[in-house]
Amino acid sequence: MRSTTRTALTTVAAALVALSTLTACGGAQPSGGSHTAASTLPPAGTPASGIPEWCPTLDTHRVDCGTIDRDLVPGSPDLGTVQVAYALIHRTDQDTPAAGTILPNPGGPGVPLIEHADLALAAVDGDLLADHDLLLIDPRGTGRSTPLDCGVPDQDFLTLSRDEQRRTATRCGELLGPRAAGYTSAATVDDFDAVRTELGIPKVVLYGISYGTYLLPVYAQRHPDHVQSMVLSGAYPHDFDTLNRPNAEAVSLALQRICDRSGACDGAAAVADLRAVNARLRTDPLPVPGERPFTLTEDKFASLLFEAATSGVGSDPDPVLGTVPAALRAAVRGDDAPLRAFAVRAATAPVMENIDLYLAVACNDYPTIWSPDAPVTEREQQYRRAVAAAGEAGAFSAAGFSAAQRDGGDTCLGWPATTRIDHAAQPLPDVPVLVLSGDLDAITPDANGLRVAAKFPRATFVSVPNVGHVPDLVPGGCVSGLVTTFLRIGTPGATDCVRSIAPIPVTPVTD
C-alpha cells in the first residue's frame, strides 16, 4: 500500500534525518503566470535582493530558487492557479556538466521538501553531489507551493474515529468543490516537468520514497523521454489490492520474523494472539487515555500496527514493533497496560505531511472498492458487499483492516466524482530501476514491491531483512551504498551486505 501517510511521514522524517505519455502533446508547460528565480551562494550571508526568503542557504552548495504559476485544474483557468516552488542545489564540481539531476519525492502525499533542504542534502552521498544536482520541489498544495487548507487536523487525524475521518474527508471535498480535481498525481508531475523545462534540465533521476513510488512512475509515464533512471524505496503498484490484503498478511509475517530471528517469542503464537486481540476489540474496544485520548478498535489497532509499528524499523534503536508480541500476550491474559502503552507510543509520532493534500490526492487517484461515478448511497452498498464477501485479511477481519486505511477503505466515500486516470494501464519507460523493500514493512510490503519491479523492463528488486518502511534509511551505509552505486552505473552491484543487518530488539515473551 501507499505511504499511508504518517508512516511514510514519520519514516520520511527519519529518512531525511538519517540521511509516460497520456496525450499526444505530452506534459503541460508553465501557464504563463509569474516566474521568479534567484540564487544563494556559499558562504551564508545576507541574501541579495530578489532571493525568496524561503530559499535555503547552504554552506557548500549554490542554490537556485524560484516559483512558477500553474493552472489549478488544466483547462479551467477560472478555478485559479497554484504557485509551485523549487530549489535547485548545484553540484560542487561546476567545471564539468552534471552527470544527472536527482529529483526526490519523500512521500505523503503532502510532505514538503524545500524546508528540509539541509537534511535532504545530508541524505544523499556527498561524492554523488560532486557531479549531480539535486532538485527539490514542493508538490502543489504543500510547503511553499500554495498549501491546501480545508480544515483537516494534521496531528489528530490518525486517532479520529473512522466515522470522523470519513466525515472530515467528505467536508474537505465539499469545501473544494470543482477545485478538488486539481490535486492529483498527474497534475503534480506535470508541475515537476514544467520546472524541469524552465530550468533546461534534459533528464532527471527520479527518487521516490513511499507515495513517491506511486507519484514518480506517473512522471515516467507522462514524460518518459526525460527520465534517466529511477530509485523506488518502499514501493507499491498503481493497481494495489483495494482491500490491502498483502499489507494485512505482512503484519503477521513481520511478527513471525521478529520472533524467529530474535528468539524472544514464538511467531505462530504471536499471530494467534493478534487474532484473539482483534476479535475482542471488535466487540469490546479499549479506551486509551492520554493527551489525546482515543478508543482502540480493531481498525485503529490495525492502523497503528501496520503504519506506525513498521515505520522506521532498522533505523530506530528501540522500535515499537519489538514490543508488540509481549503486549499481545499480556492482553490475551487480561493485562491491557502494555497494549495501551503501545497504542499511545504509536499514535504520537509527529506528522510532517499536509493531511488535507494527502486526502485530496488519495481520494482523487487511488483505486476504490466502489464505482467513483456512483451516488454515495450506492457506493456504500458496493463497499459493504465487497468487505462482507472478503472474509478475513490476515489476522484481521476484512472490515477491520479496510477501515484501518486512512487513505483507503471507506474514507473517500463522500468525495466528489472527478475524472480519473488509470495509471496501471499506462506504459512505463525502459530505464534502469532499483526497487527497495524492507521485509518487516507492512505499509509497502515485499509483495507489492515485487509487483512494481515486474512492471519495468529493467528493474532490480532488493528485499532488505530486519528493516521496515523505507529501507534506504537503515544506518551502516549498506543500502545507501547500493543506491549510490545504482545511480552511478545503473545497477546496485553486489547486495550481500544486506544479510549483515542485525535483527531488531524484541521484548521477551515469558509464559
List the domains of the chain with CATH numbers.
63-148+180-241+422-500 (3.40.50.1820)
Q: Which residue has the cell 493478534?
A: 274
Query: Could you read off the pLDDT of 437-477 as tens digits, one per residue?
Result: 999 999 999 999 999 999 999 999 999 999 999 998 788 88
% of residues, the chain, pLDDT over 70: 90
Cβ count near 478 (within 10 Å): 19
CB 352 within 8 A of CB 111: yes
pLDDT of residue 511: 76
**pLDDT tens for each residue of 33-51:** 344 556 554 433 334 457 8
pLDDT of 295 over the 70 cut: yes
User: Residue 271: pLDDT above 80?
Assistant: yes
Report which of 311, 449, 450 is spatially closest to residue 18, judged by C-alpha positions: 311
Residue 195 clears pLDDT 80, i.e. is over it: yes
Which grid coordinates are listed for 148? Answer: 491546501
pLDDT digits 0-9 by tens, 102-132: 999 999 999 999 998 988 887 787 789 999 9
What pLDDT is attached to residue 302? Answer: 98
- Would you say the C-alpha torsion 170, 172, 174, 177 has a positive or negative sign? negative
Q: SS3 breakdown of the chain: % helix, strand, coil, rounded to 5?
A: 40, 15, 45
Asked whether the CA dihedral 380, 185, 426, 136 is positive or negative, the reply is negative
DSSP track, 116-144: GHHHHHHHS-TTHHHHEEEEEEPPTTBTT
Least confident of 19-23, 38-42, 384-388: 19-23
Nearest C-alpha neighbor of 459 from the set 485, 482, 492, 488: 492
**What pLDDT was estimated at residue 38?**
62
**Is the pLDDT at 10 greater than 50, yes or no?**
no
